[in-house]
Amino acid sequence: MKIAVLGAGAWGTALAIAFSRQHTVSLWARQASERHALRAERENRRRLPGHRLPDELAIADDFSELVASADLVLVATPLAGLRPCLRRMREDSLARPVVWACKGLEAETGRLPHQIVAEELGAEALCGALSGPSFAAEVACGLPAAVTLAANDVEFGHRMARALHSAHFRVYANDDLTGVEVGGGVKNIMAIATGVCDGLGLGLNARAALITRGLAEIARFGVALGAHPQTFMGLAGMGDLILTCTGDLSRNRSVGLALAAGRRLPQILDDLGHVAEGVSTTREVARMAERLGIDMPITRAVDAILYRDEPAAQAVDKLLRRDPKIEAS
């Protein structure tokens, strides 16, 4: 299968490396200078240093030519880059199946990725989301990982899952596109919260409680949007949540750790050097939850820290002072 990977960040590069072991893969970066560096150095020294690009992995210059020749387009940009890529495909009349590996809700619109695809390519476009517990560096090394591919068409989803599956990168098909997207997006908010918890030295008991209650919050939000509850017990829910909240490679957890240390958000993001999707997702999920009347106290607390300059310790204290509830709620 010919796969066009759009986006040469850490995750796009890692997926291109992984899939090139069994498919014909071309990687495209938005900036010509990035493409030149990738081709010359055979390494993404800025985003994924230390991982050589396989000789068979091509670096593409022409967007339209690349997409036109592909059997599958895999968009691995940050979520903000999804709509521009799709719009360019539409303007060039390039109808191809699309799978995305970006997570979150679109800034300002609050759209989930599949809603963006429907707006840009039409509701009939074959599409799906690739999500689950997977750090780019480990995938690039060929270490074992398992993810979910949820699609708007069941047969397409199963076909793509089988095609992308390998012994070290296991891909499971799923038909709950909304649930997989919500799990992958909202867990980043919980990772920021967990980073704050760890940064304040609140202990492992508090971390376990926060992750557990965070999962309940994710599920409550997802079900309100039409997701299946059981999705959040799987790879795109609990699996991704645990990894992102506890792994030292987690960008969003790193943001939380820095917030707990009293650092300002602009400086944190500048020093990070990568996109932490949970920052923008927090704002959109908090707005939507308020509009729909969904109780999301952890999300509200993270939103207050990020966007209302509330000190991290004060936000946590408010959470701890909430009245007790029945656990299932």
Positions marked active-site: 187
What are the DSSP E strand ranges found in 123-205? 127-131, 145-151, 169-174
Length of the chain: 329
What 3-state DSSP class applies to 227? Answer: coil
Separation of alpha carbons 17 and 144, rounded Å: 14
CA 324 distance to own-chain centroid:
32
- Count CA atoms within 13 Å of residue 41 on its CB side: 14
For β-strands 145-151 and 127-131, DSSP reports them as: antiparallel
Measuring CA to CA, how many Å separate 131 from each of 28, 61, 214?
21, 27, 18
CA–CA gap between residue 267 and residue 77 (Å, rounded): 22
The span from the CA of 151 to the CA of 323, in Å, is: 40
Is residue 53 within 8 A of residue 42, CB to CB? The reply is yes
